[in-house]
Amino acid sequence: MRTFLRPLMAVGLLVVLVAGCGPTIAASAAATVNGTTITRTQLESAVRELVGDVESLSAEEREQQVGTQQRQILTLLITSQILEEAAVAEGVEVTQADLDAVREEVLAAVGGEEQLEPALEGAGLTMELFEDVYLSQQAHVVALRDHLLGDQTMETRTVRHILVETQEEADDIVAQLGDDGDFAELAMEHSMDTGSGQAGGDLGPAPRGQYVPEFEEAAWNARVGEIVGPVETDFGFHIIEVTEEGETDASDMPPEQIDQLIGQELNTIFETAFEEAEISVGTGLGVWDPSTRQVVSEDEVGDEPAGDVPEDAPQDAPEDAPEDAPEQE
């Protein structure tokens, strides 16, 4: 799971609950989301394990250090409620198996059960927040994604290539292939793309839109078994062969490819859910700012979120990704 705890990473460590109630919600409510109450007891329980001895702090320190963290945790609880309601409204049901699957992905991401608690501490989370909020939120999002995907498939082409630096080298390899040269052997011997080169040039199956334009056009216009090239890209000169045409279940595709199919639809559902949500925050806990989608102090409405990681932030490339492969867009 590449986005482990991303929505929660801004959660801090110190929280103080301020007494009082808003004019439109009950005294016991920290917030309401579409009529569903997030209680002050619920908020307090979620953060109490993370609270140090705040009695030694001055009133100014409490506002500066504690108030901000309190609002961030309430933002988490409100956001999770909105996302879950959006999924349920689309007819999605989450089972214990779904929750267990998300948990297993998290454990794999952090290095096992023994590493979970340190990871949660580093994110400023209690086990209660993780079990009751994070897992449920993520399971609903994954279930909604799978619901939207349904039985969709993506047309794929399996391509292999040999990447060299010059036109002359490429022409020579094309000539060797024309004299019954072995593509895989030539790839292992000559390809600058060492990752695929050691696999005989094989790049595996990919749907449309995954390669740089020149490579993409050549791969999707070629017949199976046809040698195409040299094709010049920013990486060098490619000799390309399509070895197979096929289809892949959309649910088995990498996240960026799934996004091509249902990303816009999924985004619209969540955008609408946030825009239409009726949210009230209890007195003393801040206000909900629709523009930044977080609980802020009243004088911060409209300010940019501080320190949050956008959901669509680009991920670091895998360490083992070949540097000079035909870059996927």
Domains of the chain by residue range: 6-149+278-300, 153-249
Per-residue pLDDT averaged across 145-160, rounded? 85
215 pLDDT more than 60: yes
Buried b (16+ CB within 10 A) or exposed e, 100-114: ebbbeebbebbeeee
CA pair distance 262, 7, nearest whole angstrom? 21
Q: What percent of the chain is modeled with pLDDT above 70?
A: 76
User: Computed from CA positions of residues 12, 16, 17, 22, in that sequence, does the dihedral angle turn out positive or negative?
Assistant: negative
CA pair distance 104, 40, nearest whole angstrom? 31
Q: Is this structure's pTM higher than 0.75?
A: no
Tokens of 52: 């140090």
* Residue 156 Rama label (left phi>0; alpha psi -120 to 50; beta): beta
Which amino acid makes up residue 47? Answer: V
CA pair distance 15, 74, nearest whole angstrom? 10
User: Reduced to 3 states, what is the DSSP secondary structure of residue 13?
Assistant: coil
Residues 242 and 224: beta-carbon distance below 8 Å = yes
Q: What is the mean pLDDT of the chain?
A: 79
Tokens of 266: 């999924």
Task: Give tens-digit pLDDT for 257-278.
Answer: 777 778 888 889 999 999 999 9
Per-residue pLDDT averaged across 41-55, rounded? 68
- Count the neighbouring beta carbons within 10 Å of the beta carbon of residue 26: 12
Residues 305 and 291: beta-carbon distance below 8 Å = no
Closest among 218, 228, 165 to 192, alpha carbons compared: 165
CA pair distance 202, 80, nearest whole angstrom? 42
* Residue 320 Rama label (left phi>0; alpha psi -120 to 50; beta): alpha
pLDDT at 66: 66
- Judged by average pLDDT, the poorest of 86-100, 177-191, 227-241, 310-324 is 310-324
Query: Is 314 or 231 the better-scoring residue by pLDDT?
Result: 231
> What is the CA angle 21-297-70, rounded to 5?
70
Q: Edge-to-edge strands of the sheet including 153-164? A: 202-206, 153-164, 236-249, 227-233
Architecture of domain 153-249: Roll (3.10)
- Count the neighbouring beta carbons within 10 Å of the beta carbon of residue 317: 9
Which amino acid makes up residue 151? Answer: D
99 pLDDT more than 80: yes
Tokens of 162: 């040999």
